Amino acid sequence: AQTVTQSQPEMSVQEAETVTLSCTYDTSENNYYLFWYKQPPSRQMILVIRQEAYKQQNATENRFSVNFQKAAKSFSLKISDSQLGDTAMYFCAFMKHKSGSEKLVFGKGTKLTVNP
Amino acid sequence: KAGVTQTPRYLIKTRGQQVTLSCSPISGHRSVSWYQQTPGQGLQFLFEYFSETQRNKGNFPGRFSGRQFSNSRSEMNVSTLELGDSALYLCASSLNVGAEVAFFGQGTRLTVV
């Protein structure tokens, strides 16, 4: 079974600064997907970024980028130029590749607060 | 295009009652998954449906059940409610199985008293 661990329950950052959220996972699969989802107080889970394990290049989406270390089973999220609207819970998630299932395995989340 | 719609947004039920939650996926999406989110256990997978068939089920008691209709809308039912069933129930839709990206609704907040 897959497990996802987020070791930082809470983090804070000043507006315009950079912050990195950590995520490690455990799996025996070779091909899989990793995700970062954001859940603001509105409760809606919003996809931030997605990484395919068979791609060595780290995914980026505007101010969001990941550092994917497959051998170390590490998948951290870097948020550059933090904005007040980035305040939210952030969840790291794992999905098997081509498994016939969309099942996501989530970490416990990191509560990020961006301070003005 | 409308997103994933979950109804109702909030629900208060008494122990022992049953409840039905509804999820309408994004138009054209055929795969629907359900998750339970609690402060203690985090996000846990309940079940997944594709073309009206349950494809995967999480580790929840038989009181939790679901179904999917021909228009891809899905419902989940919890019978004999317990206090511990109080949670945010999230629904996610995907274009197809293997689409590898899930889009979530805003959830239904269930409180059992």
Do A39 and A88 form a contact (C-beta atoms < 8 A)?
A: yes
Whole-number pLDDT of residue A31: 87
The residues with which A24 forms a beta bridge, in sequence order, are A5, A74
Sorting pLDDT into bands at 50, 70 and 90, what band is A91? very high
Which region among A35-44, A53-62, B56-65, B96-105 has the lowest average model confidence (pLDDT)? B96-105
Report chain A residues touching chain B, CB-CB < 8 A.
Answer: 33, 37, 42-47, 50, 91, 95, 97-109
Q: What average pLDDT does the structure give for chain A? A: 93
What's the pLDDT tens digit per position in A33-72? 999 999 998 888 999 999 999 888 999 999 999 999 999 9
For chain A, how many residues are written? 116
Query: Judging by DSSP bridges, how do beta strands A110-115 and A10-14 pair with one another?
Result: parallel
Distance CA A42, CA B87 (A): 15
Say if residue B39's pLDDT is above 70. Answer: yes
To the nearest whole number, what is the mean pLDDT of chain B? 93
pLDDT, position B97:
63
User: What separation in angstroms does the CA of B11 have from each of A46, A74, B113?
Assistant: 23, 38, 11
Contact B48 A101 (CB under 8 A): yes
Q: Does B60 touch chain A (CB under 8 A)?
A: no
Q: Are B43 and A43 an interchain contact pair (Cβ–Cβ within 8 Å)? A: no
Lowest-pLDDT range of A95-104, B24-33, B42-51: A95-104
